[in-house]
Structure 1
Amino acid sequence: MRIVHRTAALFSTFAVAAVTALSSASAQPGNGKEELPEVAVIGTGGTISGVSTDRVSFQNYQSGKLAISKMVDELRPEVDGLAKVTTEQFGNKGSGGYSIADYRKLTASVDAALKKSDAVVVTTGTDTMEEFAYWLDLTVRSDKPVVLTGSMRPWTVIGTDAPANLYNAIKLAASRKTKCYGTVVMLNDEVQAAREVRKTDALRMDTFTSGSSGRLGVIDQDNIRLNRAPARVESCGRSSWRTPFDLDRITKDGKALPKVEIAYSYQDAGGEAVKAFADSGADGIVTAGTGAGGISPAMSTARTEAVKKGVTFTSTTRTGSGAVYGSTSTTGVIGAEDLTPQKARLLLLLSLAATDDEKQIREWFATLGTAQFTEG
């Protein structure tokens, strides 16, 4: 049984995380001052690397035109006072242009960088940044800081948020204050947890929020204020901190990761989408339902038939907040609680890659998926 963590225990958890983070940043003996941390910045493209047609073309620009090395160089010498910064160009395109196979390669790149560096910053487009973030949160094996950033305006327009976001992301990573937090997102001076962050506006610079959970903290020039932490810091320093999704292990035979799709419910929705996904070989389907996960009668019928064929379903809500708990007595259908459809898809995909045991997948959704503080 999961119990909400008591206040005293919560503070002790934060203390453990803080002590661990501070110990990793201890000064080198004999030199009288702290060595600068090493931060690797991995570029994948997106608006942050965009070039506009002119200085006021806030929406007319070519994404993924600037190299990450050029962008970081434009922030020197400021970033040189924060960290020893290296760069890697993983790709240079919009976030929506990457595949799950690309995601797997990105995890490998981040893992490799963290073996040599104290923290990693990943720049990406904002369209699917929340999915980039949650994927890395579930698959990166190191507990060192991973910070995602991007921008809502291209690098080359007046009033762009791109340079400030990149600078602050490097500052946050170099501070190592988010050790054991998993992956976090930093835009608009705000720090958000990968599990909860979502894009809420197509154009505004304050587009990213964490719903009712709230942001983790803010960056106010020289001050990094973290007011809360993701529940996974409770396991900081223990092997249980890592998720079970070790990509080197679950894909060691080179097999493709499972195919998981999302079906959206609405008034009088037909069952054709669910049937088509099942017939085309989907291993799992996430339903974005009305209210607390409701789907139309036609979709429900199609889901029942698909479950008979071995398709696993996860039930979410299209409302943007609130939980879908599901029922353990409904075979083949798992409640995703308050995960958004797109994040439930990633958790289901990785779960199906690791096991075909429905009981185990339900347990992962009830623990990894909800990530509440627990006693014990």
Structure 2
Amino acid sequence: MTVSPPSPYDPDAGASDSGKASSRRRQPRIVLLGMGGTIASSAGVATQLHDYTVTDTVEAVLAAVPQAHELADIRCEQLANIDSHAIDNAMLLQLARRAEAILQDPEVDGLVITHGTDTLEETAYFLNLTLKSAKPVVLVGAMRPATALSADGPLNLHNAIRLAACAEASGMGVLVMLNDRIGAARYVTKASTTVTDAFRSFEHGNLGEIAGSVVYLFNTPTRLHTLATDFSLAAIDELPHVDILYDYQGAGSHLYRAAIDAGARGIVLAATGNGSLSPAARLGAELATQRGVMFVRSSRVGQGVVTSLADDESLGLVAAGSLNPQKARVLLMLALGRTRDFRLIQGYFDRY
């Protein structure tokens, strides 16, 4: 068996052979929690990279990576087995509560969650804001099904387990491990529809990478997360209805009315440029304010910071900062559980 080179954070580095043997008997205990997604999918032929189906249990996913057992003592648990675009608020809360319960077990050193990539960043950011633990939590997925030529899931999973077993990943918030890159839940996003190198942290950079079987961590998230946030799962019974609307040339105001009439407690606008409001969007914002619906200006651009503007104060609007619309929705849902003051909610967007 080829022995992997020691990580820069390997506590065995420089230890005697007997010390290393003792350490190997005390492997990190990692729970592998399955949610489904492409990493657990299969297709009819090896060249079929699309139109596949979730078929495999998390145990089957792990069985394809026997080398992972050299890294940790792994326990599998299946919570769901679905495409991630089917995850709703109730399931998101169920996942978060189960993850927190697992992390509270003193025998558990870290958690890896297999997840579809379509909404992986939303789940990761929700967990980043709500889990009250410093233990490593790593979300992992795949862009190709397990049956594909050059399937990326097995190596992604191996790397995720290696990262969750790394002591220096503690206290970093929820992490995302795909294509050798280590991303922070707050910053990483899916930036391509089908390529294996789909997840990027354009403006903020990755936290690190795994190269040569070694975990390299270069950066630390500065936004508040996990133990440092005001959000507690124990205080949440259900998540409020928050819609995302898209602005464009010639847009009408009917979708704003529809969202408000449907009971939305918040609206996130995927606006043009720096969260600019078209005439229809401005009317929608005014209607939302009149009806007590919180309104957040994000951007459809995909990069950059949406800054506060003069109209925000008069209209009671919130600037999303560098959060994309889907993550702004996650934060707004949680913020609305604590306050309806747009200034206090703006504070959450500034700090988280």
Any idea what SS the aligned residue of 1:212 has?
A: coil
Map residues 101-120 of structure 1 onto 2, 5 A cutoff. Answer: 101-116=90-105, 117-120=108-111
Q: In the alignment, what sits opposite 1:193?
A: 184
Structure 2: how far apart are the matches of 1:98 and 1:32?
42
TM-score of the superposed pair, with normalisation by structure 2? 0.90
2:228 to 242, 246, 252: 242
Residues 84-135 of structure 1: per-residue CA shift (max 9 Å, x gap): 1001101001001010111011011111111221100001111111111111
Is residue 88 of structure 2 the alignment partner of residue 99 of structure 1? yes
| Bigger mean CA deviation after superposition, 214-223 or 345-354 | 214-223
Superposed counterparts of 1:134-173, under 5 Å: 134-173=125-164
- Aligned CA distance change for structure 1 residues 57 and 336 (closer, same or farther; 3 Å): same
How far is 1:150 from its partner?
0.5
Partner of 1:74: 64
Query: Does structure 2 retain, via aligned residues, the 8 Å contact 1:50–1:61?
Result: yes
CA–CA separation in structure 1 for the residues paired with 2:118 and 2:327: 14
2:319 maps to which of 316, 321, 335: 335
SS at structure 1 position matched to 2:182: strand
Return the alpha-carbon distance in structure 1 between the equivalents of residues 321 and 282 of structure 2.
19
Corresponding position: 1:344 with 2:296:
no
Counterpart for residue 275 of structure 1: 257
Letter in 2 for 1:330: S
* Aligned position for 2:204: 213
Residue correspondences, number:
336
**What residue identity is the alignment partner of 1:83?**
A
Q: Once structures 1 and 2 are overlaid, which stretch shifts more, 172-181 or 85-94?
A: 172-181
Q: 1:11 corresponds to which residue? A: none
Counterpart in 2 of 1:285?
Answer: 267
Q: Which of 76, 82, 95 matches 1:87? A: 76
Please tell me whether the aligned partners of residues 216 and 226 of structure 1 are also in contact (alpha carbons under 8 angstroms).
Answer: yes
Letter of the 2:163 counterpart: L
For 2:161, the aligned partner's letter is I
Q: Give the unaligned 5+ runs of structure 2.
A: 1-7, 12-18
Question: Aligned partners of 1:37, 1:232: CA distance in 2, in Å?
Answer: 28
Contact 1:191–1:218, Cα closer than 8 Å, also in 2: yes
CA offset at residue 31 of structure 1? 8.3
* 1:225 to 2:216 alignment: yes
How do 1:20-99 and structure 2 match up within 5 A? 32-33=22-23, 35-62=26-53, 64-76=54-66, 78-99=67-88
TM-score normalised according to structure 1 size = 0.84
Which digits, 9 at most, give the CA deviation of each residue in 1:234-266, with x for residues without a partner? x9xxxx943111011x22xx4x32110011111
CA RMSD of aligned residues (A): 2.3
| Contact preservation (8 Å) 2:298, 2:306 | yes
Cα distance in 2 for residues equivalent to 1:60 and 1:359: 45
